[in-house]
Amino acid sequence: MQFGGESAAFRSRVAAQDTVFSNCVGGPVKLPAEAPAGTPELIRGDRQYQTVAAYFSAGSYPEALARFLRITQEDASPWRTISRYLVLRTLLRMQADGVQSEAESVLADAKLEAIHGMTWNLLRRAGILTRDQAYFPELGRLVSSKGQGDGFREELWSYAGMYDHVIGQADPNTAYKPAHPPAADASLFRDPDVTDCVFRFQSRGVEFGYCVERWRATRSVAWLIAALEQANAAGARRAGLYEAAAGVPAASPGYLTVRFHLLRLLEEGGNREQAREGLDAVLGSGALQGLPSRVNLFRRLRMLVAVDFRDFLQFAIRRPVLVTLQIDADEAPDFLMDLKPAAGTAELFDSDATQVLNRETPYRYLKQAAVGGELPAVLEREALMTAFTRGLMLGEDLTAIARKMGKMEPGLRALTGAYLQANDREGKRFAAGFLLLHRPEARPYYATGIVRQAPAGKMDPYRVNWWCPMSVEGALDSRANWEWGADLSVPGPVAAGKRFSTRARRRITWVGLCSSMRRRVAMMRECRRRFTGW
């Protein structure tokens, strides 16, 4: 910062900007005070720009237009370029003639490249280029060029929106697919090269050969990434993609993406030791600093090449990047910007880990996760309750789990003590079931992400109380269960252990507690009979 936060120049600038913003609520124009004597030239020039902005914000457009035009003629002004764009905005507000001709003049001037993207977006909002068939490819060329400056964000925003509009229901990545989606017209995306690359990249594996051809023709890292995204291990090896990916330098903007796919293909091809070494190198370097989403992606891949179950658990844990709702309305929804994760949710399981734990992991490993002391406190409590509930359904001995639950949660000591003191199998089953009735958070499978917000032992006012069968997709935590596909790689330590028997899998998958009110009422009546005698 050129001027300190306590300097007179900085304070003067902030006060003037407050005056500018005060014009947004209507009323007569309020102008910032003149810059104090002795103020640096930069601040005096900034005050001139702030004064014009005050006229614009107050709706005094003719005066604002004249002053913006004056600034565009001042070679020494750092606001000269942006004022040229604001001339356009003012003309548009005035509904005056000459918007398109002025915009074309801006777009034809290479010295004004920093505001080209803003100008394109302004024209779109004005409706001048919305129906122009050349607009989409021109916007693509703009996005892929250099020197857009501050306009790039708006350019990319408009490009993504226009892309979605052009592809429509043929988008293979849309969240809500029609019953019979139309085929996309590839000719609409052929030009420019960046649009062709995006279209093929998102085509879900059907464009591998085309992407390889384009990569060979261009030697572009972007086309290499598109080919890697489409590739399986065998296809990548035949096409020479392993060697190409290994040769991308760390300084390349595409390095981490290429590296991720190279290590993914090594894992898929059975080279787990080599993949593990590469993943440990990336995760141990500074390359992922400030990139929490990429950290999670690399940790996911590292989880799949774990050397043992403890190693699997270590990398199954992720730190959430964004808190959002099921509707997932935006990349960072405005209505969730103030939402903070509940206390203790810094580290959680993602859906890939819960799928392996819920459907592929032998009970002895789930018990190890619960009592081994290797999980963060919040996950450890969930692991204990999950292993306890599942163990009851499978007829397992719950002694070790009950002891630890009683130590961790004083409110459960009487209930876990009843289990530990029971003398026969039936008594233990009854005590365990009675404990579950006091814990609506109980379920025989792990949930994904932030799910239940009610405190332990309290009914949640929404619907996350006890559990539904894992086959029910309508449950709030259904993402932990139904996002299941045959392409999920099962980590070696889990695959090497004894997997679920068919009987055990059927019991966990199809039996729910909250789905049968009759079963719950019958159990509560039995509890009352045993403890009250009537």
Q: How many residues does the chain have?
A: 534
Residue 517: what pLDDT? 45
Neighbours of 23 (CB within 10 A): 20
Q: What is the mean pLDDT of residues 441-469?
A: 77
Average pLDDT over residues 489-515: 56
Does the model's pTM come out above 0.85?
Answer: no
Q: Average of pLDDT values for 299-321? A: 92
- Does 527 have pLDDT greater than 60? no
Establish how many alpha carbons lie within 13 A of residue 394's alpha carbon, considering only the half-sphere containing its beta carbon: 25
How would you write 392-422 as a 3-class SS string? HHHCCCCHHHHHHHHHHCHHHHHHHHHHHHC
pLDDT mean across residues, the chain: 81
Confidence at residue 335, expressed as pLDDT on a 0 to 100 scale: 45
The pLDDT of residue 27 is above 50: yes
With a cut of 60, say whether residue 476 has pLDDT above it: no
Q: Which of 34-38, 361-365, 412-416, 527-531 has the lowest mean pLDDT?
A: 527-531
Q: Read off the pLDDT band of 150 (50, 70, 90).
A: low
Count other C-beta atoms under 10 Å from residue 352's C-beta.
19
Q: How confident is the model at residue 222, as a pLDDT? A: 95
Structure tokens at 456: 């332990």
More confident residue, 256 or 159: 256
Lowest mean pLDDT among 104-113, 193-202, 295-304, 468-477: 468-477
Compute the average pLDDT of residues 454-483.
63
What is the mean pLDDT of the segment spanning 211-225?
96
When computed from its CA atoms, the radius of gyration of the chain, rounded to whole angstroms, is 31
Measured CA to CA, the distance from residue 9 to residue 3 in angstroms comes to 7
- Looking at the DSSP bridge assignments, the partners of residue 317 are 349
Each residue of 319-335: pLDDT tens digit? 888 766 555 444 444 44
Q: Is the pLDDT of residue 153 over 70?
A: yes
37 pLDDT above the threshold of 80: no
Locate tokens 């913006």: which residue? 68
Give me the pLDDT at residue 181, please: 81
Mean pLDDT throughout 53-82?
90
- Please report which helix (H) or strand (E) contains residue 234, including its range: helix 233-239
Residue 96 or residue 420, greater confidence: 420
Decide which of 159 and 392 is more confident: 392
The CA distance from 164 to 464, in Å, is 35
Identify which has the larger pLDDT, 473 or 464. 464
> What is the residue-wise DSSP string for 47-88?
HHHHHHHHHHHTT-HHHHHHHHHHHHT-TT-TTHHHHHHHHH
More confident residue, 29 or 517: 29
Pairwise CA distance, residues 368 & 366, whole Å: 5
Phi, psi of 135 (to 5 degrees): -65, -45
User: Between residues 87 and 173, which one has the greater pLDDT?
Assistant: 87
The DSSP-derived string for 88-144 is HHHHHHHT-TTHHHHHHHHHT-GGGGGGHHHHHHHHHHTTSSTT-TTHHHHHHHHHT
Q: Does residue 137 have a pLDDT over 70?
A: yes
d(CA 251, CA 147): 20
61-72 and 80-94 helices cross at what angle (nearest 10)?
150
- In this predicted structure, which of 104-108, 336-340, 489-493 has the lowest mean pLDDT? 336-340
Q: Can you tell me the mean pLDDT for 207-233? A: 95
Element (H, E) at 318: strand 317-318
Average pLDDT over residues 136-162: 79
When pLDDT is cut at 50, 70 and 90, the band that residue 101 belongs to is: confident
CB of 127 closer than 8 Å to CB of 99: no
* Residue 405 reports pLDDT greater than 90: yes
Q: What is the pLDDT of residue 404?
A: 96
Average pLDDT over residues 246-257: 95
